Structure 1
Amino acid sequence: MKSCVTISSVPSLKGGPWILWDNLEKSLETASEIGFDGVELFTSKASIDTNVPLARLLERHNLTVGAVGTGAGKVLHGLTLTDPDSSIRKKAREFIKDMIIFGAELSAPSILGSMQGSYGNDCTRETAIRYLEEALQELGEFAISQGTFFIYEPLNRYETNLFNQFEDACNFCRSLNSNGIKVLADLFHMNIEESSIEASIRPNADVLGHVHFADSNRKPVGFGHTDMKPICECLKEINYNGYISAEAFAWPDPDTAARQTLKSYRQFFCQSDV
């Protein structure tokens, strides 16, 4: 498994669940200095303006990219894959395709979280699920064509009413006509929705593609009450070898949050006597 920390390059969204907020070059330097293996990027579009090419910066700091987020498509542009308006759904797919290309150039998958949308008003659940199914099948195949895969993230009930529980999301993704979709296990969302996080993950190892590492209050692990021991034991048992990525609030400040995250990662994933 590989340690990973989130970096947001969207100043207008400061305060959201991303650990590092300084300019990208400074954030990469910080992530490297603290000892992370990789970074997860949250950007406003499918590019980042830097004085030095991003790939060169990553190489300089010995970092990889674990994933790129697509949430700005909804938060900044109001785009979702289940909007009743077909023109908005089309724009959402195109935005995500651009993000998939951006991620693939960095050898990273992209994540679908908030851009999945919800049903209600002018869109029934059945219709919304159909829209999501069609979009994921197309985007999964597109990701394969770019040499990567696409990650679907089930969110808690306060953020979507489509799929909230991990197993339901996994079964849905297995039913798609694409092998390009994996599922994200976000420990914060799962703490709200699951009776047992580890029991939900264990039978679905075949589609697990990414892990978001946050405590029960979405602060860095160690600042809440999630029992991490059985979760980390489960991830070891299923031989998960992907990223353990800190999508959490920068509490009490970015530097402390990053250091606490890596301390917890090493405690739970790098010691045999956890």
Structure 2
Amino acid sequence: MNKIGFNLLAWSAVVSDELMPIADRLKTIGYDGIECLIGSPDKVAYKRLGNHVRNIGMEATCVFVVGKDDNPISDAAAVRTKGLERIKWAIDRAHDMQAKVICGPFHSAHATFARRAPEDREFGWSAEVLHAAGEYAAQADITLALEALNRFECYLCNTMRQLTQLVRRVDHPNVKAMFDTHHANIEEKKFDKAIQDIAPVLAHVHISENDRGTPGDGHIDFDAVFSALADVSYSGWITIEAFSRNDPDFANSIGVWREYSTPWDIAENGLTLINQMCLKHGLDKHVTVNYVR
């Protein structure tokens, strides 16, 4: 049964008590869970937010990235070791939140380029780090759902075919993949073919419009996306990831220079879209819209 989540990056990249009332309202709107970025250093904040989310009857998932100083595909072994330790740290924080999924492009450093095409040895280094991370994640019953990014943010994995090959090379049951409609809109030829490619290892889905605003307001073909997800009997999280300039430091880091939609408009209208798409294409969603306009 699919559960529907909302990524709190629309408000803040920092895990703190300030996210609790946002989770409360998302619960009222009809969401099953929230997703937050693992990165801020306050360890206790993760436990507090995780406990709060559980207490109001929701669940949490997490998203995570690594940078050039802890890059799993660095040609320096010491940096790759730092990458593994950083991923383990993220697994610990997800465990603190009682989350069971960490998604993101932590197979390699975000926005760090080699000015050439990826090499086989880099896929090998990534797989080695991720297999060890999978062993650690298994102890907490956490799935690592790797993400392919567009060519402007990553050079190792841009497509579902590349990502599938990497996951198979990792060869660990706790290391899977995710599908993001924003990145696929840039890199894939067809949504249905991309989802068919990734289906055997698919564990998480991000619903995101072409401009990172409200899903359904842009040109993403969500009929094709949800039809394909139904065809492969996808049963994991369907989580909206949209951005704003509410957190300027985070917005600047990912090139968000304008407002697209207000976060609450994104949350309400995005949930409406997901419910409509799930009903139309036969996905077994868990929630229905229960807010009053």
What TM-score results when the alignment is normalised by the length of structure 2? 0.80
Q: From the superposition, tell whether residues 88 and 233 of structure 1 become closer, same or farther in structure 2 (CA, over 3 Å).
A: same
Per the alignment, residue 102 of structure 2 pairs with 110
Specify the alignment match of 1:125 in structure 2.
Answer: 119
- 2:81 equivalent to 1:87: no
Tell me the CA shift for residue 153 of structure 1.
0.7
Cα shift at 1:183: 0.7
**Structure 2: gaps (5+ residues):** 245-259, 284-293
For 1:158, what is the secondary structure of its paired residue? coil
Aligned to 1:17: none
CA deviations over 1:19-68 (Å, ceiling 9, x no partner): x9992112211211221111111132475555983333112322111x21
- 1:175 CA drift (Å): 2.6
Q: How much has 1:111 moved relative to structure 2?
A: 2.1
Does residue 9 of structure 2 align to residue 8 of structure 1? yes
In structure 2, the partner of 1:39 is 34
Mapped partners of 1:242, 1:206: distance in 2: 13
Residue aligned with 2:170, SS: coil
1:271, distance to aligned residue in structure 2 (A): 4.1
CA RMSD of aligned residues (A): 3.0
Cα distance between partner residues in 1 of 2:266 and 2:103: 22
Residues 167 and 175, structure 2, Cα contact 8 Å, conserved in 1: yes
Structure 2 distance, partners of 1:6, 1:254, is: 10
Aligned equivalent of 2:48: 53
In structure 2, what is the equivalent of residue 168 of structure 1? 162
**Partner deviation per Cα, 1:113-140 (whole Å, 9 max, x = no partner):** 1561255269972332222121111112
Contact 2:118–2:155 (8 Å) recurs in 1: no
Q: Does the CA-based 8 Å contact 2:208-2:242 persist in structure 1?
A: yes
Q: Is 1:25 paired with 2:20?
A: yes
Unaligned runs of 5+ in 1: 15-19
- Asked whether 1:206 is paired with 2:215, we answer no
Q: What is the identity, as a one-letter code, of the residue corresponding to 2:76?
A: D
Could you say if the C-alpha distance between residues 122 and 242 of structure 1 is closer, same or farther in structure 2, counting changes exceeding 3 Å?
A: closer
| Displacement of 1:162 | 0.8
Alpha-carbon distance change, 266 to 22 in structure 1, aligned in 2, over 3 angstroms: farther
Please tell me the residue identity of whatever aligns with 2:273.
S
Instruction: Report if the CA contact (8 A) 1:185-1:210 is conserved.
Output: yes
What amino acid sits opposite 2:261 in the alignment?
P
- What is the percent sequence identity of the aligned residues? 22
